Amino acid sequence: MKLQLPYRIGNSDLSTHFDLPWGAWFGDGPRAFSLPDNAAIDVANIEARAALSADDIRDSLQSLKAALAEKQPKSAILVVDDLTRPLKMAPILSEVMAVLTEAGLTEEHVSVLIGGGGHRALTREEVAMKVGEEIVDRYPILDHSPFENLEEVPVDWKGTPVRLNRDFVQADFRIITSGLVPHSFAGFSGGAKMLFPGIADIEIIKRTHKSVLMGFMGKLGVVEGNRFRSEIEELATQVGVDYFLGLVGNGERDVVKMYSGDLITAHREAAEYARQYYTCSVEEEPYDVVFVNAYPKDTELLQAANAFIPLKSAGRPLVKEGGVVVLMSACSEGMGHHELFGPDKLLYRKPRPLRQFRKQELLIYCENLTAPECAQVFAEDYPFFENWADLSTLLAEKYPDGFRGLVFPWASLQLVGEQ
Amino acid sequence: MEIQNAVKDFLYEDHLEEEFKGLNVDDSLLESGIIDSVKMLDLIGFLEETYKIEVDDDDLYPENFDTLNAIAEYVNGKK
């Protein structure tokens, strides 16, 4: 279903209602929510921008033609992110494949590698959702595993040997494609992160995640000077990437802007575009209630904390002391999977109350989950709701005279600040 | 073991009693849930003040801070 922008918001005699984008990859449609009729709701929107046309994409790929003509490779590999990342890649990959074919690299010379780091392998149907049926039918699709099919490369990360996916290492021509969304530690996702941790072995993935968990590296929305990104870019440069596509998507997950060529330059350009596009300003006065919808990273509970990005990026409280934050996620795949952070995995720990919500209440609304499952990721102190009417009733009781609310429909993308 | 014990005392909090039970000097403090990014900042401040050392940004890697022994080795190397 095509989403309509801006999202509907209004008051009827009985309720305040708003629609949210819901269920990326799995259902993908507007979902209606109601609140007490005396609630006054603002919505922080992302501007609707048109998807790139096939002509736009072809124009951007002129530099790919030149790079292929210069290197004359015998084989190529394209690294693509997985379903935890929101962009629909089919229109882009279709044009990339056309350019490769023109250069003599047909199906038997080209493969697609899903670089999901420590995430689970995708099914054929899921890969088709990401890259399109045509690509799945014609090209070998490889799913990276951090445990096998690895090859050591002649670089090390402060003494830790680096092993990457063997098919990537052995390919003549290496293309990295990635969408850019705000990332708590790497500034924005994508770029060299597609190698580290995207197609790295478990030791490198572990090292990466430990560093960020210990607070040693990186900051949300800041790419330039980001220590984590500088280090992985240096490693990626040594390993060698022949061509990079940095992609920015709209609220419907279509690519609206594409930067191509050099890994670092194109990623910087894409990050700056994404920063401006995803940044919104909101009223100075903190709200009573802020609703953060994890879409488009709403496939699993393990990604739901990305919905806090607007609150983290604001640099000031968006919610009053004693106010409420409502975390919302479709969690179409339930808990989700991560080789390090999932329950019983190496870096899993029993969740504790989040420091950032010491002065506010956090309510959690997720579908396709139970309260005990939710308590494996978010501290059980936080009330869990699977029925929206119950949550709305609780807000009505807490605020009998109404409340000022703010909704972030695409919270995992939305930064708060000056554009 | 003086540094290891001092760091262990500094990191201890009542609600972490379970995590500290049987903690070995080579166990990962991160994996055991004893430190996180906020606690790390406190720990670095504690090390700098107690041992009169300066922790450089370039030293901020898990290899130097993830176990009690690694922390002791790091501190001794900086003295």
| pLDDT 10s digits, B1-57 | 899 999 999 999 888 888 888 899 999 888 888 888 778 888 999 999 999 999 887
Largest CA distance in chain B: 33
Buried b vs exposed e over A52-67: b needs ≥16 C-beta within 10 Å?
beeebbeebbeebeeb
CA atoms A58, A64, A70, A72: torsion sign: negative
- Report the half-sphere exposure of A65 (CA within 13 A, side-chain side): 10
At residue A419, the pLDDT reads 62
> CB-based contact (8 Å) between B35 and chain A?
yes
Block mean pLDDT (10 aa), chain A, length 419: 40 68 93 91 92 96 97 97 91 97 96 90 92 96 95 88 96 97 89 94 86 75 84 94 98 96 97 96 95 96 94 94 98 86 74 85 94 92 95 96 95 89
Q: Torsions phi, psi of B31, nearest 5?
A: -65, -30
The residue to which tokens 């680096």 are assigned? A162
Would you call A71 helix, strand, or coil by DSSP? Answer: helix
CA distance A250 to A54: 17
Of A158, A215, A347, the CB nearest to B37: A215
Strand order in the sheet with A384-385: A40-43, A404-408, A287-293, A319-329, A361-366, A384-385
Q: Torsions phi, psi of A171, nearest 5?
A: -70, 145
At residue A5, the pLDDT reads 37
Q: What angle do CA A10, A14, A17 make, to 5 degrees?
A: 30
At residue B59, the pLDDT reads 83
CA distance A62 to A75: 19
* Distances, alpha carbon A86 to alpha carbons A83, A137, A189, in Å: 6, 22, 11
At residue A217, the pLDDT reads 67
CA distance A21 to A100: 35
Of B15, B30, B38, the CB nearest to A210: B30
- Pairwise CB contact (< 8 Å): A214 & B37: yes
Of A159, A227, A347, the CB nearest to B30: A347
> CB-based contact (8 Å) between B17 and chain A?
no
> CB-based contact (8 Å) between B16 and chain A?
no
Q: Among A407, A406, A283, A400, which Cα is nearest to A38's?
A: A400
> CB-based contact (8 Å) between B40 and chain A?
yes
* CB-CB neighbors (< 8 A) of A346 in chain B: 31
Domain assignments of chain A as residue spans, ordered by start: 9-44+282-416, 54-277
CA atoms A247, A99, A113, A212: torsion sign: negative
At residue A15, the pLDDT reads 59
CA atoms A350, A356, A358, A364: torsion sign: negative
Please answer whether residues A128 and A80 qualify as being in contact, where contact means their C-beta atoms are separated by less than 8 angstroms: no
* CB count in 10 Å sphere of residue A12: 9
The residue to which tokens 């709305």 are assigned? A392
* CB count in 10 Å sphere of residue B13: 11
Two tokens, residue A261: 């060529």
State the DSSP H helix or E strand holding residue A11, giving kind and residue range, or none if neither.
strand A9-11
CA distance B71 to B55: 11
> CB-based contact (8 Å) between B20 and chain A?
no
- Pairwise CB contact (< 8 Å): A214 & B63: no
**What CATH architecture applies to the domain B2-78?**
Orthogonal Bundle (1.10)
pTM given for the model = 0.87
- Pairwise CB contact (< 8 Å): A210 & B33: no
At residue A120, the pLDDT reads 83
Q: Cα A224 to chain center, whole Å?
A: 19
At residue A307, the pLDDT reads 97
Pairing status of strand A243-249 against strand A255-261: antiparallel
Buried b vs exposed e over A120-133: b needs ≥16 C-beta within 10 Å?
bebeeebbbbbbbe
> CB-based contact (8 Å) between A210 and chain B?
yes
Which residues lie below 8 Å from residue A270, measured CB to CB, with a gap of 6+?
Answer: A180, A188, A190, A246, A247, A248, A257, A258, A259
Best of A211, A216, A220 to mutate (most B CBs within 10 Å, chain B): A216
CATH number of A54-277: 3.40.50.11440
Q: What 8-state DSSP symbol labels residue A121?
A: P
Single-letter code of the amino acid located at A47? E
The CATH class that applies to domain A9-44+282-416 reads alpha beta
On the 0-12 / 13-18 / 19+ scale of CB atoms within 10 A, A79 is: buried
